[in-house]
Amino acid sequence: MQNKTLRIATRKSPLALQQTKYVQKKILSLYPNLNIKLVPIVTHGDNILKKSLSKIGGKGLFIKELEIALLENKADIAIHSMKDLPVNITKELCLVSICKRGNPLDTLVSNHYKSIDNLPKGAIVGTSSLRRQCQLITYRPDLIVSPLRGNVETRIAKLDQGKYDAIILATEGLNRLNLQHRITQIIPAELSLPSCGQGAIGIQSRAHDKKVLFFLSHLNHINTFIEINAERAFCRKLNAGCQIPIGSYAIIKNDKIWLRGLVGSPNGKIILKGERIDYYNKTEKMGYSLAEELLKNGAKKILEELYLKESYYI
């Protein structure tokens, strides 16, 4: 690795570049003489900003071009937000490592109201996530949820222009952009269960590139990897490869894994929740078991209806 140039594929958004610089710094701390070249890429999801993610194919649109760069040997690794990485990865590629997770929770950003409870009836809340939408409507059905796309800075600018009374963003995204001062309320998981992998950065590479796999595996944070493996197992069983109202959040607690899962209808009328607590070596099993429980309790019908709508848009 010392005499090699490592090419890193990344999206061009400010947050993606900041995450890539974070990983770059970690890599150089291990291999200070390594040459690193960034390969910025504009994805299909970055180009379509006037439609909701659920209508254009989901979050996978943010990583497809990066994966193509790997497959065509235009880059050696790709940096992703783990919440954007589909649970099923093409066999030619693999997840090398997951860096230590930051804050996985959602955040309310508002210029006038201190919390979700303080929002007045009929307040307009912006979010691009059906997961956030369904949980917010369930808790506060008197609020108006309005679609919101664009990078973090663009979304905050729309809030400042008075188009929204509040918006909901990922807490760690604000932290990485040094926008902590814009955080109004960090929303507890009991009110807004996070997305699978939220708050963590993943490194993807070609499965046959053994040298890269070996050296960059040292960046893997084992506790984060275990937690997110449980979350992704839950989503994999639900076939959650697109942007649908699914939340999954696992934490290591008292030497065991505590996994919580959620499936909801976009209108917030149905919210199905469950949880599992088990040992580290049973993350896959507990994720599948929890997903099966929710499927039996009504999640199957919700997801089938959403997939039908999605196939219509695509």
pLDDT at 176 exceeding the cut of 50: yes
DSSP E strand boundaries for 15-140 = 35-41, 77-81, 93-98, 106-109, 124-127
What does the pLDDT look like over 199-230, one tens digit per residue? 999 999 999 999 999 989 999 999 999 999 99
Within this chain, do residues 230 and 153 fall inside the same structural domain, yes or no? no
Residue 195 is assigned to a structural domain of this protein = no
SS3 assignment, position 273:
strand
Higher pLDDT, 309 or 58: 309
Among 46, 76, 84, 165, which one carries the catalytic annotation? 84
CA distance 65 to 41: 7
> Do residue 216 and residue 231 come from a single domain?
no
CB 9 within 8 A of CB 96: no
**Among this protein's residues, is 278 annotated catalytic?**
no
Question: Is 12 within 8 Å of 69 (Cβ atoms)?
Answer: no
Confidence of residue 62 (pLDDT cuts 50, 70, 90): low
- Residue that is last in its domain, among 133, 164, 187: 187
User: What's the pLDDT at 49?
Assistant: 46
Q: Which pLDDT value is given to residue 305?
A: 84
pLDDT digits (tens, 9 = 90+) for 39-50: 999 876 544 445
Kindly write down the DSSP assignment for every residue of 119-159, as one continuous string: SPTT-EEEES-HHHHHHHHHH-TTSEEEE--S-HHHHHHHH
- Which CATH number do you get for residue 260? 3.30.160.40
Q: Say if residue 52's pLDDT is above 60.
A: no
Per-residue pLDDT, 189: 97
Q: What is the pLDDT of residues 228-253, one digit of tens each?
A: 999 999 999 998 755 689 999 999 98
pLDDT at 304 over 70: yes
The answer to whether residues 44 and 171 belong to one domain is: no
Q: Which domain holds residue 236?
A: 222-314
Residue 247 CB-density burial (10 A; 0-12 exposed, 13-18 middle, 19+ buried): buried
Strands 166-170 and 106-109: antiparallel
What pLDDT does 1 receive? 54
Of the candidates 301, 312, 96, 112, the residue with the CA atom closest to the CA atom of residue 213:
96
Closest among 184, 23, 195, 216 to 113, alpha carbons compared: 184
Residue among 97, 93, 100 at smallest CA distance from 75:
93
307 and 271 Cβ atoms separated by less than 8 Å: no
Which residue type occupies 74?
A: K
Based on the fold, state whether residues 177 and 205 are members of the same structural domain.
no
Do 213 and 93 belong together in one domain?
A: yes
Region 55-75: mean pLDDT is 78
Nearest C-alpha neighbor of 37 from the set 15, 8, 73, 60: 8
| Domain annotation covers residue 192 | no
Is pLDDT at 57 greater than 60 in this prediction?
no
